[in-house]
Amino acid sequence: MEVPTDSVEQKSGNASDPGDDRCSDNDFGPSILGTKEYWEEAYQRELETFTDIGDVGEIWFGEESMSRVLRWMDKAKIPEDASVLDIGTGNGAFLVELAKHGYSNLTGIDYSPASVELSRNVLKAEDLTDVPVKLFMQTRRIAGAGVHCVVQRFLHRAELKS
């Protein structure tokens, strides 16, 4: 069934025209997941749980997401000694997986202080104390001149407040 285009009301943004790259504020509404406060509270709870019972917490983007990235890295022939930067490292679970797969030059960054502390604790529990995890807002330079591979599984529409 064909729908006449004059009977379709377009509320905002780009509904179907690939040449129309307009975007309105109504296209992507604010989300609690985009606030630093949400993530700080979430990682503070996970840090307390890890301290109490040793549970690393939720792997926010799932095991399959980590597996897909690892498969891509293998297919792209990323060397095991390549410097890998994990942006939004969360609880550090992906850094642990990268290390288990032989990657040795790893760095994690996050904008949540509780996440950084949790990641460091998780890495220490896995005997990976040589993997640095840094607070994003304090990171001006990552070791060396740059990185070979940047991993970022998901980016929220974040709102940073000073």
Asked, for residue 54, whether it belongs to a domain, the answer is no
Q: How many domains does the chain have?
A: 1
Which of 65, 64, 124 is CA-nearest to residue 96?
124
Q: Are 83 and 105 in contact (CB under 8 A)?
A: yes
Residue 11, pLDDT score: 37
Domain-located, residue 43: no
CATH number at residue 117: 3.40.50.150
Consecutive 10-residue averages of pLDDT for the chain (162 residues): 37 45 59 80 92 80 84 93 92 95 94 94 96 79 65 52 46
- The residue segments making up the domain with residue 156 are 80-162
Give residue 66's pLDDT.
87
Residue 38 belongs to some domain of the structure: no
| 72 assigned to some structural domain | no
Q: What is the 3-class SS of the chain, one letter each residue?
A: CCCCHHHCCCCCCCCCCCCCCCCCCCCCCCCHHHEHHHHHHHHHHHHHHHHHHCCCCCCCCHHHHHHHHHHHHHHCCCCCCCEEEEECCCCCHHHHHHHHCCCCEEEEEECCHHHHHHHHHHHHHCCCCCCCEEEHHHCCCCCCCCCCEEECCCCCCCECCC
Residue 36 forms part of a structural domain:
no
Residue 114: the pLDDT is 94
